[in-house]
């Protein structure tokens, strides 16, 4: 099953309909060797990625980079590419966990606060009974604890690792230990556990349909979201529109 790609800033960003993307990931899990590392790229992440050459090279070489967010859609439209189908983990994960194939794989949750990750575990148990949760750990740990966490993940025998420690910390951690992690799929999901646990509410449905969830979150958390929606977004829009060559790929 194929998904599409668009190249910007010398990196391929993948996109598709939500169901097609989840089917594609299960096909990769079933038939393709090697480890799948999913990284979402929106305007904020594009900014931080391009400020860190090592991280940029890891994402380009060792991940499935995914096209995310209304900001990137706007840039692509300005560049004459139309409105590309963007993806996000908050809407993808429920589809993924509902697929019949999920019962074949154990899942480990890593990240967020203890309250949030426990809440996410309970939410998954209550709403996706076919999912086998092999273990979990919060995202607040010291460098000296990292090896113990890797051993805990591997000891759980999970095949899928969901990581919610925020970009770029989660990506740097995963790339550092990608060769030591005995999992097939690593999915970097930012703040997902906060949403599925109910600690942070998502925007109302009509706001999401209007593609204005970013504004809802900005109003709710203006201090945390200020840099993301001003400095990072402006830099990325300027870079993509005026400096990047854009090409579509199949």
Q: Domain for residue 139, yes or no? A: yes
Q: Domain for residue 25, yes or no? A: yes
Q: Domain for residue 249, yes or no? A: no
Which domain, by its residues, includes 224?
A: 4-243
Measured CA distances, 210 to 9, 65, 205 (Å): 28, 25, 9
Measured CA distances, 65 to 61, 117, 244 (Å): 10, 24, 17
Q: Domain for residue 250, yes or no? A: no
Tens of pLDDT along the chain (250 residues) come to 589 999 987 899 999 999 999 999 999 999 988 999 999 999 999 999 999 999 999 999 999 999 999 999 999 999 999 889 999 999 999 999 999 999 999 999 999 999 999 999 999 999 999 999 999 999 999 999 999 999 999 999 999 999 999 999 999 999 999 999 999 999 999 999 999 998 987 767 776 776 777 666 667 777 777 777 789 999 999 999 987 677 776 6
Q: Domain for residue 168, yes or no? A: yes
Q: What share of the chain is helix, strand, coil (3-state, %, to 5)?
A: 55, 20, 30
Q: Which helix (H) or strand (E) holds 24?
A: helix 18-31
- Tally of domains in the chain: 1
Q: Domain for residue 248, yes or no? A: no
Whole-angstrom Cα distance, residue 56 to residue 113? 27
């Amino acid at each position: 099953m194929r998904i599409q790609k668009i190249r910007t800033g010398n990196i391929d960003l993948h996109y598709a309909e939500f169901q097609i993307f989840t089917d594609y990931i299960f096909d990769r899990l079933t038939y393709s060797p090697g480890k799948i590392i999913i990284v979402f790229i929106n305007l904020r992440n594009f900014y931080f990625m391009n400020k860190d050459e090592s991280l940029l090279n890891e994402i380009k070489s060792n991940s499935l980079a995914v096209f995310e967010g209304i900001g990137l859609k706007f840039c692509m439209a300005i560049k004459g590419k139309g409105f590309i189908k963007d993806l996000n983990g908050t809407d993808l994960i429920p589809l993924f966990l509902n697929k019949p194939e999920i019962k074949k794989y154990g899942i480990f949750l890593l990240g967020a606060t203890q309250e949030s990750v426990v809440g996410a575990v309970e939410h998954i148990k209550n709403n996706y009974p076919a999912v086998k949760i092999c273990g979990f750990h919060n995202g607040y740990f010291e460098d000296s604890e990292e090896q113990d966490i890797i051993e805990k993940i591997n000891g759980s025998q999970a095949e899928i690792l969901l990581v919610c420690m925020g970009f770029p910390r989660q990506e740097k951690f995963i790339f550092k230990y990608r060769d030591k992690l005995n999992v097939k799929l690593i999915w970097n999901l930012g703040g997902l556990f906060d949403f599925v646990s109910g600690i942070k509410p998502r925007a109302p449905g009509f706001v999401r349909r209007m593609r204005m969830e970013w504004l809802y979150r900005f109003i709710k958390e203006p201090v945390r979201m200020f840099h993301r929606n001003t400095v990072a977004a402006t830099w990325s829009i300027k870079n993509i529109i005026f400096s990047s060559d854009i090409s579509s790929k199949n």
